[in-house]
Amino acid sequence: MAEIDHFMPLLMQHEEEGLICPVMSHGSVHFMWIKHSNLYLVATTNKNSNASLVYSFLYKLVEVFTEYFKELEEESIQDNFVVVYELLDELMDFGFPQTTDSKILQEYITQEGAKLEVAKTKVPTTVTNAVSWRSEGIKYKKNEVFIDVIESINVLVRWNVNANGSVMSSDIVGSIKLKTMLSGMPELRLGLNDRVLFALTGRDKGKTVVMEDVKFHQCVRLSRFESDRTISFIPPDGESELMSYRINTHVKPLIWIESVIEKFSHSRVEIMVKAKGQFKKQSVANNVEVRVPVPSDADSPKFKTSTGNAKYVPEKNLVVWTIKSFPGGKEFLMRAHFGLPSVENDEMEGKPPITVKFEIPYFTVSGIQVRYMKIIEKSGYQALPWVRYITQSGDYQLRTNV
């Protein structure tokens, strides 16, 4: 039990030496750790353990605690240490992860101390069932399932001296999220325009996508997917992430940014930023934020925008240009003027990238589509599936050498 006392001195030593590492060793004991807000979650082992399993468990721990305490920080652990002990007791036994589904845990570990003792005697059968992520006897007046297809675009554009921008790297990271409000134990089948499936069935028509690094929720029958690419599952109740995927493809930046930075007689700097929507005219990007770095010694900001508004955030050395609604095919301008008391710093400073945040509803870059969602339940009720598509910015950077 005293081994954990070596963790913080070891971490501080590594930080001083600039050798910070997710796995650290002291004697025969290995520390695997993650940091969440002001907390360190540390797992110890003296064996050659499966590191991926340990990290998956630590992140699951954060997820469960956040679900229980809303905010996971030092204070929430101190205020709820009885519940934390109860949860740890259920989450892991003898170093093996056990019940890690927060919805199931909430059925018999509650936050009211008085209820805790009563509830403990009646552990839900779900814990020992084959379907450990869904309880029996769920009832809804209206049976519905909401499907969100959310894609994040990662793009890196580099500008050279001749002001030509080229895409250095790009990919799409997607996830399919469910909100299930279905009675009983329904069996769901989801069909996508998956190229491998179309090739298997000989229907290689229309737009298809090639998904890589596909990761499923534990409810999906993997053997079925591997044999005929059918995504078949009994869903968890409420909200869950059914699957995530990556599409490694050349993505045209949806919002193209050009910037010109001019310095005048070492006294002021003028920045002009042009933003252009390179997506369909019928689509609209919402809550667009263009973050433009400025020198750390800049002052006296003045702005002019053709739409939206710009503000200076001195603590981050940024200008944030916000556009509530950005239609496809449109072009907007922002000009910023700053005073520069001294320019000597500037040569030493790095050149951080311009970053862009946005969200485009009813649209996916990859063209992925939900072709069908079949809902089968023994009572034979009718259920409505609803589908929504969203594209958003992921790691979206424009770097300049100028």
Helices (H), 18-130: 51-69, 74-79, 81-91, 102-108, 113-120
- Window from 199-208, 324-333, 362-371 with minimum mean pLDDT: 199-208
pLDDT tops 60 at residue 105: yes
pLDDT tops 80 at residue 201: no
Q: Which of 253, 200, 295, 250 is nearest to 396 (CA)?
A: 253
pLDDT digits (tens, 9 = 90+) for 269-313: 899 999 999 999 999 999 999 999 988 888 889 999 999 999 999
C-alpha–C-alpha distance, residues 200 and 215, integer Å? 21
C-alpha–C-alpha distance, residues 35 and 385, integer Å? 38
pLDDT digits (tens, 9 = 90+) for 245-264: 999 888 889 999 998 888 77
CB 320 within 8 A of CB 289: yes
What's the pLDDT score for residue 174? Answer: 95
| Longest CA–CA separation in the chain, Å | 79
pLDDT digits (tens, 9 = 90+) for 146-195: 999 999 999 999 877 555 778 889 999 999 999 999 999 999 999 888 77
Torsion, CA 66, CA 68, CA 72, CA 76, rounded to 10: 180
Place of tokens 């919002």: 255
Structure tokens at 303: 């702005």
C-alpha–C-alpha distance, residues 163 and 226, integer Å? 47
Confidence of residue 329 (pLDDT cuts 50, 70, 90): very high
pLDDT tops 70 at residue 213: yes
Q: What is the CA radius of gyration of the chain?
A: 26
- The pLDDT mean for the chain works out to 86
Within 10 Å of residue 211's Cβ, how many Cβ atoms? 19
pLDDT tops 90 at residue 15: no
Structure tokens at 119: 């509830």
CB 144 within 8 A of CB 181: yes
CB 380 within 8 A of CB 141: no
What's the pLDDT score for residue 120? Answer: 44
Domains in the chain with CATH codes: 3-128 (3.30.450.60), 144-251+365-400 (2.60.40.1170), 255-361 (2.60.40.1170)
CB 23 within 8 A of CB 51: yes
Confidence of residue 116 (pLDDT cuts 50, 70, 90): very low
User: What is the mean pLDDT of the segment spanning 26-51?
Assistant: 92
C-alpha–C-alpha distance, residues 242 and 147, integer Å? 9
Confidence of residue 129 (pLDDT cuts 50, 70, 90): low
Instruction: Report pTM.
Output: 0.75
